[in-house]
Amino acid sequence: MGLGFRAVKCEATFSGPYVHKGLYGPDEQVVEVAAAVRGAVGPELAIMVDVQYAFDSVERALAVAEALAPHDVFFLETPLWVDDLAGYAELRRRSPVRIAQGEWLSTRFEFESLISGECVDVVQPDIGRVGGFTEALRVCDFARRAGLVIVPHAWKTGISVAAAAHLAMVTPEMPFFEFLPAELCESSLRKELVQDELVFADGVLRPPERPGLGVEIDADALARFAEAAEQLVRDRYAKVT
């Protein structure tokens, strides 16, 4: 709150493929986390909950959604596996909390199935995965015509944050987008890839003053990351062969 955020998202993943470093626990712990966060930030901040595809049935997801509702959760993100569209449609019909999904989808055609099937309340395109700005704008237009909210997936690097900021500036239906300050992140890629970023103050990311995306890539950092990636591929190939 001291940084001026107007919304926060909790990753509360105690089961499923992305369980936090072996921290397995019952579904009730998701609700406990959300309740603790709401108690800490008070009623003014929006809070979201991401369970990262944790639930294997609509009933499990619905039970958590119903328990989250009293804590004024803005959305529940990716409760079911990405291609369970029938499950998402049923969950959305029954859930008292908005359902969000879309970070893994590619092109507007996959989003058309998600949106036309009435599977979500919140659409989450990742600009890099969906096919760039043009395709992301098409997805946003489709979501807008369906009366949905847009909150894109974009926290990995300063480049993706800048891209999401540009998309937000032309998308009125986007009340939030993901932003993790570099100083709060463990990832060297997030900290070092760009030399400067858009200015975050008073809960908003200000429009860029520099040309293009408003960030400048650190060439030395890019070279280090490229070499590390190539070495990883070489090491994996050597193990296979």
192 lies in some domain: no
Give this prediction's pTM: 0.92
For helices 58-68 and 85-94, give the axis angle rounded to 10 degrees.
30
Q: Are 190 and 182 in contact (CB under 8 A)?
A: yes
Q: Evaluate whether 90 touches 81 at the Cβ level (below 8 Å).
A: no
Q: What is the pLDDT of residue 189?
A: 87
Measured torsion, CA atoms of residues 192, 195, 198, 201, in degrees rounded to the nearest 10: 70
Amino acid letter at 136? A
Domain-located, residue 126:
yes
> CA-CA distance, 27 to 13, in Å (whole number)?
9
Q: Using CA of residue 28, residue 32, residue 33, residue 37, what is the dihedral sign?
A: positive
- For residue 198, is it within any domain? no
Q: In this predicted structure, what is the pLDDT of residue 241?
A: 61
Within a domain: 170? yes
For residue 126, give the nearest of 166, 158, 154, 162 by alpha carbon: 154
Instruction: Please report whether residue 203 resides in a domain.
Output: no
Q: Is residue 200 part of a domain?
A: no
Q: Write out the residue range of the structural domain in which residue 103 sits.
A: 7-184
Is residue 229 included in any domain, yes or no? no
Taking the chain (241 residues) in runs of 10, the rounded mean pLDDT of each run is: 84 92 91 97 96 97 98 98 97 98 96 97 96 96 97 87 90 90 83 80 78 90 93 84 61
Residue 225 lies in a domain: no
Give the number of other CB atoms < 10 A from CB of residue 95.
22
CATH number of residue 170's parent domain: 3.20.20.120
CA angle 105, 17, 82 (to 5 degrees): 25
Cα–Cα dist 32/77, whole Å? 16
pLDDT at 1: 63
The total domain count for the chain is: 1
